[in-house]
Structure 1
Amino acid sequence: MKPDIVIIGGGAGGLELATRLGRRLDKRGQANVILVDRSPTHIWKPLLHEVASGAMDSSVDQISYRAVARYRRFRFMLGEFSGLDRQNQTITLNAILDEDGNTVLPERELPYDYLVLALGSITNDFGIPGVKDHCYFLDSPEQAQHFQKTFLNTLMRVNSERATNPEAKARIRIVGGGATGVELAAELVYAAETVHEYGFTRADRGMVKITLLEAGPRLLPALPERISRDTLRELQELGVDVKLNARITQATPEALVDQDGHEMPGDLMVWAAGVQGPELMNELDGLSLQPNRMLKVSATLQSVDDPAIFAMGDCAACPQEQGFVPPRAQSAHQMANHLADNLERQLAGKELRAFQYRDYGSLINLSQYSAVGTLMGGLSKGSLRVEGRIARLVYVSLYRMHQIAVFGVMRGLLMAMTDRLHRVFKPKMKLH
């Protein structure tokens, strides 16, 4: 009887792993590969800030799991994970309801021989009062789409107000100076300039007043300091007000409050500070977690408590020489490759290999204005600094590599060509 390999979570790492295992194991009849996700479609999470600004239309760029499953020879099951029974080796999926609350599929149990958790991460509000209630988060396409609609409505309102008050502005506060906060700030500046071409006659860069707040002494604390300096300079040139050492202690319906009690009123407030495991990580039948709800795994990516359970990507606390593997897209990509090999070795009765993360550099994309970063980190003694068009080209290529990993070389290249054509014919930003 073929073993069941169940992967929970169709993010960048989970989907890439399913495609590799489907091609290697399911197609050859060596295992049943099943991918479970609560959404029927996939979008690459590092691009959610573009969905939020309207630069990307998720309805065009999202990928159907069922379509990929048919082509790459694995099974897809729609459902939201809600519980784990390690003794009986089953997971529970919540019932699926339609828009009227009628049951489409009842609660189900799914057996596994090997379970892979690829549940990703969510933004950490650190328990700060009011943040959950009054700030936007960008953890999912749905949240990004909700922000985009509100942002567009805000631009419409300000454009109208400028008829009588030329100084009217949309006040946007972004908390968190990591990659998401930095890239979102640049995308929103570009969106404010772009809408002028689509009937917003009084729109320009000055119609948005964007404040980026970082609790630490510099932006992008996980990246090299020179990238931080370059990014700060670029954002300031775009008119973004960057405040460092600004720790938020409270959010109200109208404002953010810092450690000194100063209120910063905002029309839109976005929280992009820190990551933690999703709340359902607490439903893992006693598996050991880090304080931030990341699953403790060994170097083989197996749970320290249960060798039949693996974890990868943002939800995995995988130790390395200094700290843990960082929660980045390249980490998930590398883990997917490694775990595909290890599961193949597991079925063959061979010893599993330890995962070694390699840092291939860091890139920050500042919309259409610029990009900065380093390449080849971890491959040589130093690193190559890149910026401008070259850096942006490499940044875009990361998404193309993800498409190729999912669809294969030929289909991946065809998708890249299709995306290029879409950018020629469709509006520069989503206008509805």
Structure 2
Amino acid sequence: MINPALQPLSDYTFARLARMLDGIAPAAGKRPILLSVGEPQIQPPAFAAEAIAAGSHLWNKYPPPKGDAAFLGAVTDWLTTRYGLPAGMLDTERHVTSISGTREALYQLGFLAVPERKNGRQPVILMPNPLYHSYRGAAMLGRAEPVYMNATPENGFLPALDEVAPEILERTALCFLCTPTNPQGRVASLDYLKRAIELAREYDFMLAVDECYAEIYRGVPPAGGLQAAAALGGSLKNIVVLHSLSKRSSGPGLRSGFMAGDPELVGRYAEYIMFGSASTPLPIQHAATALWKDEAHVESNRAHYAENWRIATQVLGNKKGYHEAEAGFFVCMPADDAEALTKQIWREQAVKIVPVGLMAREDAEGVNPGDPYVRIALVYDAETTEEGLRRIAPYF
């Protein structure tokens, strides 16, 4: 009685990791340290909770499907300032909508942006490989063929868009890109993003740029999809970007983010919410509005992660294959046998990491580009981060 197309729902990274470690007890006498999940362990600023409390009289109100005017205005202002967009390029009513974090919206794009047929054939969804599991879920939801674009050292861990065959592009309905990338922390250049938009318009597919790590950087702020659209003349056709407060503001539990870009897709998303999904509650939108208006806490977060990167370089910097990522908070380390190493470290050191192969899929040639790596998340306070890294350092 269960739809067989739902099989990938049990195939996401952490379900696979749990199955892999099932029956393996972490080292006795050591406190477990979970360097596996990209979940910030620092708290959002206190004013977020204060804003929720101040809006508590609104819990009895259904939130507008696209978000209230204050939230949408704060997001529009933030995007315009952050990416140097021309005044008036973004129309708050047409180009921006609230979403419940990015995971839900990325998954739903498989339904919203994928027709039953594309040029008379089964549509394709392009996605980076390794990938966020919602991209694969979107293909399941849209009954589309997932086509994996390997991110490897040879292409700077960014999918080689111009190597995708024209016959695949002709069937492509949706393309996911993630920048800064997960897990390698590479940043797509403005020219790379412009080329992605050009391909989307040439072959008429939707480009969805997942920018959830865009504010965890050191040095130059990463370029963004809307910035590339501005450089191409300002049209938002065939592109949406997605952001959330999960990493930027250490607020994954808020389930608040936004999607901005193509007005037809943004409008359809709001209509979809009215039928089969939920909007972010108004008290949480009030907190989100305050968070998008404040940069001081974001700068503090960046300083926190910069310190963790300093510690990682101090502890792992002399290990083969170590490099500081351009953005984000993941270390990717090479491993001869990532699965065996992950099991050994959990058993002997009570530290949990992720084989990147669990985040990836075999390509048409049977190659999994994640197999040679493990992912380590630098999300704890400095003391815990250093303890976890020092426990695992001898294994590399």
Query: Do Structure 1 and Structure 2 share a fold, with TM-score over 0.5?
Result: no
Higher helix share: 2
**Bigger Rg, structure 1 or 2:** 1
Tell me the TM-score normalised to structure 1 length. 0.30
The one of the two structures with greater contact order (alpha-carbon pairs below 8 A, sep at least 6) is: 2
